[in-house]
Amino acid sequence: MRPERRQSPDTTGLLLLLTTVIGWGVNWPAMKLLLEQVPPFSIRAITAVAGVALLALIAVWRGESLAVPRALVPRLVLASLLNVTAWMGLATFSLLWLAAGEATIVCYTMPVWASIFAWLVLGEAITARRMVALAIGFTGLAVLVLGNGIEAGLQKLPGAAFALSAAVLFSLGTVITKRWPVALPPAAQVAWQTGIGCAPLLACALLFERVDFADLSGRSWLLLFYGGIGPLGLCYLAWFAALRRLPASAAAAGTLLTPVVGVATAAVFLGEPLGARELIALSLTISGVVLAIRG
């Protein structure tokens, strides 16, 4: 009897996953820098224009249909509001109170909340491991927010609430999309979700914010260009391509590198602290997420 050959990992899939993780992670300090000159709603609205245009062009180039069957419209709108409007809007607002590294850690508790919604929506068993994962995740958040004292923690509380809400709603959107899939081609699906999801953010930007484009620095224009073309455009395509080549569990585990990249790049480019509090919170959060994924 021949010994079973172990399947080697897909190198292209791993490279696509690494590209996605780095692009998403670097975007957190990039947005923090942008907030010095561009208000939150406008950041997402401007980058969405570039991202949607790129994705639509790629969809057409790949021969993907941009038509949406009428029966899928309610699902598409709901997924867009949860996965894009809530995620992008709330996560960006959290940066007004939190450091980029802190916001990254809180937002990437998503798999922990997804395991809870999977129990409520999909009927998946809520195991003891997942309950432990939830407890560990809360402990990581407590260390992050209260690690410098209660007074400092209260100042960060609004940002933590925005980031946590973004994570919870995105997780709900993920589970709902799994329960009621939006069966569209990859590039077309992301283009539609980004476009629909950013429409409310664009409306808020036009109503409540004002951007003097003539006063924007070259750095801000470069970061806006990066935010639209990279994290909103190419990274999503790389993510879908990685999912086709890698096991779902491996892809989910790979995203755990995103907060690590976010915290590290924020320390390098923004000079944010990277001490015991941040490292303990990051370790606890990742541990909770790992348990949730394996739970």
119-121-127 Cα angle (round to 5):
5
Work out the percent of the chain whose per-residue pLDDT is above 70: 92
The pLDDT of residue 92 is 93
> What is the mean predicted confidence (pLDDT) over 228-236?
88
For 177-218, the pLDDT digits (tens) are 888 888 888 888 889 999 999 999 999 999 999 988 889 999
Q: What is the pLDDT of residue 120?
A: 84
Q: With contact defined as beta carbons under 8 Å apart, do 159 and 98 qualify?
A: yes
Task: Give residue 85's pLDDT.
Answer: 94
Cα–Cα distance for residue pair 251/79, rounded to 1 Å: 21
Q: Nearest-CA neighbor of 83 among 170, 200, 1, 195?
A: 170
CB 223 within 8 A of CB 63: no
CA–CA distance, 145 with 270 (Å, rounded to integer): 19
Distances in Å between the alpha carbon of 207 and those of 39, 44, 194, 203, 285?
Answer: 12, 14, 20, 6, 37
Reading the block at residue 81, the tokens are: 């509001």
pLDDT band at 76 (very low <50, low <70, confident <90, very high): very high
- The Cα 137–Cα 133 span in angstroms is 6
Average pLDDT of span 252-279: 86
Residues 6+ apart with CB under 8 A from 85: 197, 198, 200, 201
- pLDDT above 50 (res 15): yes
For the chain, the average pLDDT equals 86
Mean pLDDT for 96-114 is 88
Task: Supply 158's token pair.
Answer: 């609004």
pLDDT bin (cut points 50, 70, 90) of residue 111 is confident
pTM: 0.85
* Burial of residue 280, with CB atoms counted within 10 A of its CB: 0-12 exposed, 13-18 middle, 19 or more buried: middle
pLDDT of residue 11: 84
What is the rounded distance in angstroms from the CA atom of residue 22 to the CA atom of residue 150?
33
d(CA 278, CA 288): 15
Helices (H), the chain: 11-34, 40-61, 73-80, 87-94, 100-107, 110-117, 128-146, 150-179, 186-208, 218-229, 235-245, 248-254, 257-270, 276-294
Q: Assess whether pLDDT exceeds 50 at residue 4.
A: no
Q: Mean pLDDT throughout 263-280?
A: 88
Q: Check residue 291 and give its pLDDT.
A: 76
Instruction: Output the pLDDT for position 249.
Output: 63
Residue 1: per-residue pLDDT:
45
CA proximity to 103, closest of 281, 276, 252: 281
| Residue 1: count of CB within 10 angstroms of its CB | 3
Using alpha carbons, list the distances in angstroms from residue 52 to 161, 169, 235.
28, 22, 13
Distance in angstroms (rounded) separating the CA atoms of residues 193 and 201: 13
Asked which of 18-32, 70-84, 230-244 is least confident by mean pLDDT, the reply is 230-244
Rounded CA separation 270/219 (Å):
14
Q: Residue 216 contacts by C-beta under 8 Å, 6 or more apart in sequence?
A: 37, 38, 224
